Amino acid sequence: MPDYAIADDGARIAFAERGTGVPVLLTAGQATGMHGWGPFADALAEDFRVIVFDHRGIGASDLGDAGHYTTRAFAQDAVAVLDAAGVSAAHVVGHSMGGRVAQWLAADDPERVRRLVLIATTASDRSGKKRDPAVIADLLSGDRARMTPLFFDADWALAHPEVVDAFFTRVATREALRGHFAASRDHDAREVLAAIRAETLVLHGDHDALTPLAQARPLAEAIPHATLRAFDAGHGLHLDTPEVVEAVRAFLFPVPPPRASVRPRP
């Protein structure tokens, strides 16, 4: 059974945690449940206290007020989760729409974010070339066969059907799905990115059809302490590309510098 945080409109936001150590909050993508993090969360839980949650309207979380379906309001839901978990500050990792939510969290509540990881996301869909309508149609089709190639390597998906299933399986009303799509579509945090104080790692796939790599570059350039890394991957690179997990682990848990050797006095 999940635990629950209470958002400012009274909606219950379901969350769960695993592991021990410095807390890491994972913010999922559009209409994706907490269970979609799968092996990525498991890997981080070997070294960290990992907290996952269902966005409002998804999984075990309440639908809540219709006016709260924006990425900025979702960020306040994430703050409510941190409060309910008793966490004053956490590393924050966001994928896709979750990365958009994480941008607001880091800009509006900088004291709550230790380090920030933004995976397959953008500052705004209004800042560059429009996405291919055929790609959007595949995304919104609900057809697993059409959606899977947008996210995952074909061979990896065939070898890991249970991970793919957990990622795409969700409980949500049509109202919630429409709200999530609109929240992600209307996101625009370009004016606040310069206020993000956290060291930031931007990770992106070279052949991400949903969010082209060209959209990640201005995001990384606008955040003061950001680094961009690209991988031979698509939109679901956090699951099908092991190097991404290792990059996140290394960024959140950096190796301390070697101690200077001290010569004994003669």
DSSP result, 162-173: HHHHHHH---B-
pLDDT of residue 255: 59
What six digits make up the tokens of 129? 């070339």
Mean pLDDT to the nearest integer, 7-27: 97
Is the pLDDT confidence value at 263 over 60?
Answer: no
pLDDT tens column, 78-100: 999 999 999 999 999 999 999 99
- Among 100, 118, 153, 136, smallest CA distance to 210 is for 136
Mean pLDDT to the nearest integer, 162-191: 95
The amino acid occupying position 1 is M
Rounded to the nearest integer, the mean pLDDT of the chain is: 93
What six digits make up the tokens of 156? 């990896």
At 23, phi and psi to the nearest 5?
-70, 145
Give start and end residues of each alpha helix (H) in the chain. Answer: 38-44, 71-84, 97-108, 133-140, 144-151, 154-159, 161-168, 174-185, 216-222, 237-240, 242-252
Is the pLDDT confidence value at 49 over 50?
Answer: yes
Residue 216 φ/ψ region, left for φ over 0, alpha for ψ in the -120 to 50 degree band, beta for the rest: alpha
pLDDT of residue 133: 80
pLDDT of residue 258: 53
The C-alpha atoms of residue 84 and residue 15 are separated, in whole angstroms, by 9
Is the pLDDT confidence value at 266 over 80?
Answer: no
pLDDT of residue 264: 46
Percent of the chain clearing pLDDT 70 (strictly above) = 93
Predicted model pTM: 0.93
Q: What is the torsional sign of CA 136, 140, 146, 151? A: positive
The C-alpha atoms of residue 266 and residue 264 are separated, in whole angstroms, by 6
Is the pLDDT confidence value at 33 over 50?
Answer: yes
The C-alpha atoms of residue 204 and residue 238 are separated, in whole angstroms, by 9
pLDDT of residue 127: 56
pLDDT of residue 156: 97
Which of 128-137, 146-155, 189-198, 252-261 bottoms out in mean pLDDT, i.e. has the lowest?
A: 252-261
51 forms beta bridges with 17, 25
Is the pLDDT confidence value at 163 over 70?
Answer: yes
pLDDT of residue 77: 98
Is the pLDDT confidence value at 48 over 50?
Answer: yes
pLDDT tens column, 112-156: 999 999 999 999 977 555 667 888 787 777 788 899 999 999 999
